[in-house]
Amino acid sequence: MSPRVSMVVNGRGVEADVEPRRLLADFLREDVHLYGTHLGCEHGVCGACTVLVDGEPVRSCLMLAVQADGGEVTTVEGLSRDGGLHPLQEAFHEHHALQCGFCTPGFLLTSLYLLRERPDLDDEGEIRAALSGNLCRCTGYQNIVDAVRDAAARMRQDSPTTKG
Amino acid sequence: MPAWVGRRMPRREDAELLTGRGRFIGDLGRSGMVHAVFLRSPYPHARIVSIDASRALAMPGVRAVLTGADLPEDLGAQPNTHLFGERETPYFALARERARYAGEPVAVIVADSQYLAEDARDEVIVDWEPLPSVGDADRALADDAPLVYGDRDWPDNVAATFEQEMGDVDSAFDEADVVVTERYRIQRQFGCSLETRGVLAEWDENVDELTLWTSSQIVHIARDLLAAVLGLPEHRIRVLVPRIGGGFGAKFHFYPEETAVALAARATGRPVRWVEDRMESFLATVHAREQRVEISMAAREDGTITAVKGDLVGDMGAALHTVGYGPLWLTAVMITNVYEIPNARVRARAVVTNKTPLGSFRGWGQPQANFVVERTVDRLARELGMDRADLRRRNFIPPERLPRKSLHHTLDSGDYPRCLDRALELLDERGWRERQHELRDEGRHVGIGISFYTENSALGPSRMLNQGGVQQGGYDIARVRVEPGGEVTLYTGLCEMGQGVTNALSQVCADNLGVHPEKIKVVTGDTSQVPYTGYGTGASRGAAVGGAAVMRASRKVREKVMRIAGHMLEANPDDLEAEDGMIFVRGTPTAAVTMGDVGRAAYLRAIELPEGEDPGLEAIEAFDPPQFAWPYGANIAVVEVDVDTGEVSFLDYIYVHDCGTIVNPMIVEGQIMGAVAQGIGAALFESLPYDEEGQPLFGTFMEYVLPTAAELPRLVMEHQHTPSPNIPGGMKGVGEAGTIGSPAAVVAAIEDALAPYGVRINETPVTPSAILAMVGEREVTPA
Amino acid sequence: MKPPRFEYAAPGSVDEAIEILRDAPEESTLLAGGQSLVPLLNMRMAQPRVVIDLNRVSGLDAVERTPDGRIRLGAMVRQRRLETDPVVRDELPLIAEAARHIAHVPIRTRGTVGGSLAHADPAAELPATVAALGGRLLVRGPNGDRAVPATEFFVGALTTAIEPGELLTAIEIEPPREGAGWAFGEVARTHGAFALAGAAAVLQVGDAGQIASARLALLGVGSAPYVPEWLEEMAVGEAPDEPLFRRIGARVVDEIAPLDDIHASADYRRRVAAVLTARALRDAANRSNGRGSG
């Protein structure tokens, strides 16, 4: 039995018949062809597959596609707007916060949620703790931390009303 | 003056990776593609009595199950390209008759989806006869040890013994004022890229040609070894490398899965893709580092180190993989580090055990060598009552005596004292020696650890490699082509795996050709397009050897550009300059043609070419380094230890180094930060423990602990610049540097923090549990 | 690492879930947040015939005050909400603090209160915290509801008092008395990793400066949360000072039987249990009645 699931991914409605056991990550990658969501461990530790479901970050390797039925999903492909880079993406680029880029989508989505929740975030220790659920093997994290802090500042600049 | 080399330039591939458009092996699809999974040995050592795949084959969607018995009879063993004199440890794409480590591939199952393939794997029944096994090199050396290759009539488990000596070691020890001897144990660790490995194979049976995509650092070597194993001419195999999600040396190897997936594609007549899952990655991807080392140092009372000797045991696992026991060999020959020690002797024994084969990981054998030497220098300082830095300074090879031969290599250039002194200056500028006293008075346990490293980079002179037994060259070849429109295509055999080599090479090309880097497209990872590279992407050779090859090819093209432009401008080519795609008469920028004008002339308008000039505008040039390069640097770690819980936290981390000419400081810094993180992983977190029989005690990221952003320090970094005398451009390379000195510095800092307890730390990782065991019983005071 | 085939049911009510569970209680697995179950499925270490997804069951995600003054947390309340919900933060700050130690935000957004308690991992934060607070767990089965005190609920590693065919619907916790202090602490190899050991404490200092009440629970030091039943007797009426906390820690060490694993020795866990006990009690005392920094 393959139930039909439908959800909104990056603002676009998608529908498919999927086995109940199909992981959300595989659904996004293989059925919706959004390969930016990467599978790094499939047991919830590395964070590479992090996406937003109904605005909250989740491990898409630990969620079944059927569980996202009726939900709204944001992947890395949904981050940039109008062809331009999101301030987080810009900051990652400028701070050399990515090397191989495999973990990057997970960091971006974790950070996107983080900065929505905490637009005032500036403390390095807090940023490091908040990013500790995402593993990176290339950068030693320092440039990622700097990029997130810088992006927070840029986003505050862009929308001063969200301050505080 | 170079315009682009030395510039901090953000990378061009970022946009693709930041928007989810980068395509890694797991993102590739082919029409009709099916999926492979591997069944692996659950035993460290066992005979395969029989395999029954009938139930699996009867399942819907299952295409094939191949076992060792299905391999072509003339299939070659997986080759080892680093032959230093060792017994053969043949292993195949799939285990034949017996498996010698838990995780060894035994069968490949191909089905319409990975889900179905895993379902089918659960139905393959293997009748195993477990055999005696050994999970530890010390035990493997015992007289009554189970023999890993008893079936090949080995009398013991020693695959090779390497010995080298210089000077008169015994006399030096006899005459020494002080001798210190220490024994160290360095754990298993591995590259552990966030992207696992993967292979996609497509066999065109009409022409009997194979196309193989693989997440690999060795595009040509993978092709050649595959050709050798399969018995195919090299030109009938095309190997492609898509985006790589980190390699760190683990992808420098040629793996059984590459052969097996190719065979599965032939057997099914379908494109077959396999993506290693994380759990199997801990067993199926080469491990690294594990050694036991006993080292003795002899010194005079004034601190002059007169001799060193080392006895090394490398736990190689169940087979010598692609690079043989190369990393162990490198540890042995780097036993004098940067010190002027006239007498040295090493013995290294490569011991087989029933564990995953050992192989490459960023730094190869150098972190181990650095750890045992630097920790022993600290010990000697304590024994002599000397300052640790003073002792190092006293024994550094002074700048004026470089280049200088050490045990095996010739260290090239630099100023070690200046580098260490600058790091210590930074330590004092940041107030740490003073604050350490204050904090200690407050009852806090703060320690400072120092280490100094050099790195064997720019691998390497091909003849030297061959003489040493390496069945590969060490050169690199670059092809630079100016297209008719004036854009440039740069072809390199080096692979981009996140380290930024394509950006660095385009900066080198831009300067030497006179174009903007953004006009340069770099093509990598396709044996049908890129020139041969001698050694693959590793050994910190990209910027140095690859860069020099690009420099040569770019200059060659530029000469032709100048001849054509000179003809067009009616000027002497020697009077021309090229910059940002414009070629102009020096001092008269209005008299100019563009690179596009020259390109069109070269390809489309022979009428504009000088008499006798051939059409076309490209060059292929090789560079084979005459010597290795030797970057170096100082690590200083400042840590605090919570002696109630054994937790270690970083207060500061200083890194001062010299890697010659820096092409892109941003990339160099990123390389060092990432490598230091891996060195800290070695010092504190990462380990792949086995039980005595070789049963792994790990299987997930719950056991293999990678440091997160919350544990790692912010690096304070400074660069010094001594160009390599042997590499055009002066680059020395930097990729591995950060892994080498960091474990020693971190462990030294912990030891210093625990000075009141007089502990000696000779084993990594230094876990909280290990720290409390060393600190011993003490009264509990909530801090 | 893909899950095996299973039948999937997404009931809309607790009773419907129990009805499905009744058919094959031993072959069915309840899926709450999935942060422990789905890894086990991906590793094929769990191969249930039926997965009953509780995420569409209504009425299990409420945080509410009961008429008798307890706080009731529905089994499907997400761990992330424990950090942010004003009722939890005000009335059960110990729970809010402990929740911050559970893995990472993207785990806590899915992970549930009930899932963690029913999974009963010996290193998990919530079981010990609920035990320290003297909570009780509400379980429903074919024969109706029953309440199980936390101290009886955690039977062993990954083993609880939930019988086949039953499911956990909520927990109820009586907020500590006005003025009680609280603290939670743990050590882990890395931030958010499973705890090597941890301690949760609630302690009230009376008007005269003596301890009026104290409760403590430890995690990671045995197969189930360790709650020293002798604590009140030893602590009440005593001055909340370091020597007392050290004596309590020493007694804890004598009574626990932690295990070795690749991350830490049993001896390490014992010693750290004493340290974390003393720290938690001290910090809780400092928070009591607005003492210390709170």
CB C246 within 8 A of CB B780: yes
Angle between helices B416-429 and B432-441 (to 10 degrees): 50
Mean pLDDT calculated for residue range A62-72: 98
Q: Distance between CA B586 and CA B595 in Å, rounded?
A: 16
Q: Distance between CA B90 and CA B104 in Å, rounded?
A: 13
CB B335 within 8 A of CB B310: yes
User: Considering only CB atoms, which chain B residues are within 8 Å of A105?
Assistant: 20
Angle between helices B366-384 and B326-333 (to 10 degrees): 30
Whether residue B781 is predicted with pLDDT greater than 60 in this model: the reply is no
Using a 10 angstrom Cβ sphere, with 0-12 exposed, 13-18 middle and 19 or more buried, the burial of residue A135 is: buried
- The closest CB to that of A67, out of C41, C42, C53, belongs to C53
Q: Does B674 touch chain A (CB under 8 A)?
A: yes
Question: Does the beta-carbon distance from B768 to C196 stay under 8 Å?
Answer: yes
Each residue's pLDDT tens digit, B545-574: 999 999 999 999 999 999 999 999 999 999
Each residue's pLDDT tens digit, A4-17: 999 999 999 999 99
Q: Distance between CA B199 and CA B572 in Å, rounded?
A: 53
**What part of C 145-174 touches A (C-beta under 8 Å)?**
none
Sign of torsion, CA A45 A49 A54 A56? positive
Each residue's pLDDT tens digit, B604-626: 999 999 999 999 999 999 999 99
**Architecture of the domain defined by B412-456+627-783:** 2-Layer Sandwich (3.30)
Ranges assigned E (strand) in A12-156? 12-17, 50-53, 56-59, 72-74
Each residue's pLDDT tens digit, B45-57: 999 999 999 999 9
Whether residue B780 is predicted with pLDDT greater than 60 in this model: the reply is no
- CATH code of the domain covering residue A98: 1.10.150.120
Query: A72 with A93, same domain?
Result: no
Q: How confident is the model at residue A2 (pLDDT cuts 50, 70, 90)?
A: confident
Domain B462-623 has CATH 3.30.365.10: yes
Chains interfacing with C (3 or more CB pairs < 8 Å): A, B
**What part of C 37-56 touches A (C-beta under 8 Å)?**
38-39, 41-43, 51, 53, 55
Q: Distance between CA B121 and CA B763 in Å, rounded?
A: 39
SS (H, E, C) A91-123: HHHHCCCCCCCCCHHHHHHHHHHHHHHCCCCCC
Chains interfacing with B (3 or more CB pairs < 8 Å): A, C
For residue A81, the model assigns a pLDDT of 76
- The closest CB to that of B769, out of C4, C190, C268, belongs to C268
Q: Distance between CA B479 and CA B531 in Å, rounded?
A: 7
Query: A36 with A100, same domain?
Result: no
Mean pLDDT calculated for residue range A35-59: 98
CB hemisphere CA count around B213 (13 angstroms): 20
User: Considering only CB atoms, which chain B residues are within 8 Å of A48?
Assistant: 194
Question: Does the beta-carbon distance from C189 to B773 stay under 8 Å?
Answer: no
Q: How close B670 comes to chain A (CA, Å)?
A: 6
Question: Does the beta-carbon distance from C275 to B700 stay under 8 Å?
Answer: no
For residue B779, the model assigns a pLDDT of 47
Whether residue B482 is predicted with pLDDT greater than 70 in this model: the reply is yes
Query: A69 with A115, same domain?
Result: no
Tell me the sheet residues that pair with A59: A50
Question: Does the beta-carbon distance from A44 to C109 stay under 8 Å?
Answer: no
First to last CA, chain A: 49
Where a domain ends, among A78, A97, A113? A78
Where a domain ends, among A25, A45, A78? A78
CB B294 within 8 A of CB B311: yes
- The closest CB to that of A132, out of C38, C39, C190, belongs to C190
- Distance from the Cα of residue B382 to its chain's centroid: 33
Residues whose CB falls within 8 Å of the CB of residue C213, separated by 6 or more in sequence, listed in order: C177, C180, C202, C203, C204, C232, C236
Domains B412-456+627-783 and B462-623 share a fold: yes
Q: How confident is the model at residue B776 (pLDDT cuts 50, 70, 90)?
A: confident
For residue A161, the model assigns a pLDDT of 57
Q: Does B107 touch chain A (CB under 8 A)?
A: no
**What part of C 133-162 touches B (C-beta under 8 Å)?**
none
In the three-class reduction of DSSP (H, G, I as helix; E, B as strand; rest coil), residue B134 is classed as coil
Write out the two tokens for B155: 């009398």
**pTM summary value:** 0.97
Angle between helices B416-429 and B388-395 (to 10 degrees): 160
Of the two residues B666 and C24, the one the predictor is more confident about is B666
Nearest residue of A to residue B716, measured between CA atoms: A142
Best mutation target among A1, A59, A66, A75 (most C Cβ atoms within 10 Å) is: A59
H/E stretch holding B272: strand B272-275
Where a domain ends, among A78, A95, A129? A78
> What's phi and psi for B339, nearest 5 deg?
-100, 150
Each residue's pLDDT tens digit, B208-245: 999 999 999 999 999 999 999 999 999 999 999 999 99
Each residue's pLDDT tens digit, B624-637: 999 999 999 999 99
Q: How many domains does chain A have?
A: 2
Q: How confident is the model at residue B1 (pLDDT cuts 50, 70, 90)?
A: very low
- CATH code of the domain covering residue A53: 3.10.20.30
B126-B127-B133 Cα angle (round to 5): 100
Nearest residue of B to residue C6, measured between CA atoms: B119
How many contacts, defined by CB atoms under 8 Å, are there between A and B?
A: 178
Of the two residues B535 and B250, the one the predictor is more confident about is B250
Q: How close A48 comes to chain B (CA, Å)?
A: 8
User: Considering only CB atoms, which chain A residues are within 8 Å of C44?
Assistant: none
Query: A66 with A122, same domain?
Result: no
User: Considering only CB atoms, which chain B residues are within 8 Å of A76?
Assistant: 18-20
User: Considering only CB atoms, which chain B residues are within 8 Å of A142?
Assistant: 673, 712, 714-715
Sign of torsion, CA A106 A107 A112 A115? positive
B725-B726-B732 Cα angle (round to 5): 85
SS (H, E, C) chain C: CCCCCCEEECCCCHHHHHHHHHHCCCCEEEECCCCCHHHHHHCCCCCCCEEEEHHHCCCCCCEEECCCCCEEEECCCEHHHHHHCHHHHHHCHHHHHHHCCCCCHHHHCCCEHHHHHHHCCCCCHHHHHHHHCCCEEEEEECCEEEEEEHHHHEEECCEECCCCCCEEEEEEECCCCCCCEEEEEEEECCCCCCEEEEEEEEEEECCCCCEEEEEEEEECCCCCCECCCCHHHHHCCCCCCHHHHHHHHHHHHHHCCCCCCCCCCHHHHHHHHHHHHHHHHHHHHHHHHHCCCC
The structural domains of chain B, with segments of one domain joined by +, span 412-456+627-783, 462-623
Q: How close C138 comes to chain B (CA, Å)?
A: 31
Counting other chains too, the contacts that B703-707 makes at CB distance below 8 Å and 24 or more residues apart are B703/C262, B703/C263, B704/B192, B704/B282, B705/B681, B705/C189, B705/C190, B705/C193, B705/C263, B706/A135, B706/A137, B706/B192, B706/B681, B706/C190, B707/B677, B707/B680, B707/B681, B707/C190
Query: A109 with A133, same domain?
Result: yes
User: Considering only CB atoms, which chain C residues are within 8 Å of A42?
Assistant: 1-2, 39, 42
User: Considering only CB atoms, which chain A residues are within 8 Å of B500?
Assistant: 99
Give the total residue count for chain A: 164
Closest of B390, B314, B378, B308 to residue B343, by C-alpha: B308
CB B736 within 8 A of CB B366: yes
User: Considering only CB atoms, which chain B residues are within 8 Å of A22?
Assistant: 115
> What's phi and psi for C108, nearest 5 deg?
-70, -25
Closest of B258, B261, B273, B268 to residue B57, by C-alpha: B268
Using a 10 angstrom Cβ sphere, with 0-12 exposed, 13-18 middle and 19 or more buried, the burial of residue A81 is: exposed
Low-confidence ranges of chain C (pLDDT < 70): 290-294
Question: Does the beta-carbon distance from A138 to B670 stay under 8 Å?
Answer: yes
Question: Does the beta-carbon distance from C55 to A67 stay under 8 Å?
Answer: yes
Task: Work out the mean pLDDT of chain B and round it to a whole number.
Answer: 96
| Domains of chain C, first to last | 7-52 (3.30.43), 63-173 (3.30.465.10), 181-288 (3.30.390.50)
Alpha helices in B202-272 (DSSP H): 219-230, 256-268
Pairing of strands B488-492, B618-623: unpaired
Range of the domain at A62: 4-78
Write out the two tokens for B396: 């550094």
Q: How confident is the model at residue B2 (pLDDT cuts 50, 70, 90)?
A: low
Residues whose CB falls within 8 Å of the CB of residue A7, separated by 6 or more in sequence, listed in order: A13, A14, A68, A69, A70, A71, A72, A73
Query: A66 with A132, same domain?
Result: no
The ipTM, to two decimals, is: 0.97
Q: How confident is the model at residue A82 (pLDDT cuts 50, 70, 90)?
A: confident
Mean pLDDT calculated for residue range B701-722: 98
- The closest CB to that of B195, out of A100, A140, A145, belongs to A100
Query: A70 with A114, same domain?
Result: no
